[in-house]
Amino acid sequence: MSAAPATPVSPTRVARGLEEIIDAAAGVLAAQSLLETFHAMAAALRPIVPFTSLAVYEADMTNRMLVPVFAVGRYVKETLAFPAPVDASITGKAFMRGKLVHLEPGHPWLGDYVLPGTPDNDQEAFIVAPLVAAGAPIGTLNVWREGAIASFASEEAQLIRRFATLAAMAYDNARRREQLSQLAHTDDLTGLANRRQFHERLTAELTRVGRERVPVSLLLLDVDDFKLVNDMHGHAAGDAVLRDLAAVLRDGVRVADVPCRTGGEEFAVVLPGADEPEAKRCSERLLKAIRSAGEIRVSAGVATAPADGRTVDALFQIADDRLLAAKAAGKDRLIGPRLAA
C-alpha cells in the first residue's frame, strides 16, 4: 500500500530509532494530562521520524467517525474541524483494517480524499497507524511529510508503527486519568462541577484577585420550596428539577463561568473577572432564564471580591447572607450589595 521512497534508511538508523522509542517511553507515559501526552508524543517522534504535520484521532463508533483531538504542523485548524468518516476516509481504512497505511506522493487515494480547506495539489507522503489499547482500536496516529521532502522510507513507516504502540498506551492511560479526574470533580446527578471543584476554582480566582487585581464574583442560588416538591411528587421529581436547573445554568453562563452544585438544592456560579455591575447583569440574566424555563424558582445572593471579601469563606458567607435575605424578603429574587430583583 505504498510506493518505494527514493532514499532508504540504513539498518543502523532503524536500530537507533527503536532505541529512541524505548528511551522516549518514560517521558511520554509520565505526562500528567491528555494535552501534555499529545505534545510529548509529537516531541518524542519528531527526532525519530521527522515530519511536517501530525494528528491524533479518537474513535467515535456511535457516529462512525474518527474525531481529531490533537494536531500540530500545517493546516491545524482545518484538521481539527473535520472528523474522518470511518467508512469513507484513508484514516478510516487504516482504523478498520487495523493495519498501517503508508501512501507516497501520486497514490490515487491522496487525490480521492482531500481535507476541506487545504490545497488539492500539495505533494505529501502520509502514514496512518492504528492506535490499539488492551486489544481494542481506540483511534489513529496520522503523520505527514509535505512539500519537497514528501517521502517516507518503508523503515520509517515501521518505526512509526512501533511508536504507535507506545502512543496508544500513553493516550489510553492519560484518557483514563482525565476521566477519573472528571468524575472526582463532577456532580453525578447534574453533571455540573461539584463542591470540591467549586472550592478549587474559587480559590484559584481569588488568588488572581490578589495577584492581578482582577475581580471575581460569586452567585449562590437555592431552589425555593424544594422540600414541597419532594414531599408532594417524590424524589424522582426533585431530581428532575435539579437537572433542569443545572441545564439552564449551563446554557446561560458566560464561557469562563463555572456553574456548580454545592449540595442538595444549592448551586453556585463562579464569575471570573466580574465586578459588581457585571455580576448584577449576569445574575439577573440567569434568574430571568430560570423563570422562563418553567416553574422552578430560586432565591439568590451575589458577592464580589475584593470588596466583599478576599477568602473563600468570607465571600461565601456574604453571598449566603444575601441569599437568606432574599428568602426572607419573599423568595424568587436576587440580593447583592446594592440590588434586589
Q: How buried is 222 (Cβ within 10 angstroms: 0-12 exposed, 13-18 middle, 19+ buried)?
A: buried
265 catalytic per annotation: yes
Question: Do residues 151 and 119 lie in contact, with contact meaning Cβ atoms separated by under 8 Å?
Answer: no
Rounded Cα distance between 292 and 75, Å, is 43
Rounded Cα distance between 93 and 101, Å, is 8
Which amino acid is it at 267? F
Q: Which residues contact 299 (CB under 8 A, 6 or more apart)?
A: 221, 222, 224, 323, 326, 327, 331, 332, 333, 334
Which amino acid is it at 251? D
> Grid coordinates in use for 245?
436547573
**Cα separations in angstroms, 199 against 42, 202, 206, 218, 261:** 35, 5, 10, 11, 11
Which amino acid is it at 314? A
Rounded Cα distance between 259 and 91, Å, is 38
Catalytic residue selected from 124, 146, 265, 276: 265
Query: Phi/psi of residue 164, each to 5°?
Result: -60, -30
Distance from the Cα of residue 273 to its chain's centroid = 22
Which amino acid is it at 102? H
Question: Do residues 228 and 282 lie in contact, with contact meaning Cβ atoms separated by under 8 Å?
Answer: no
- Give the residue numbers marked as catalytic: 265
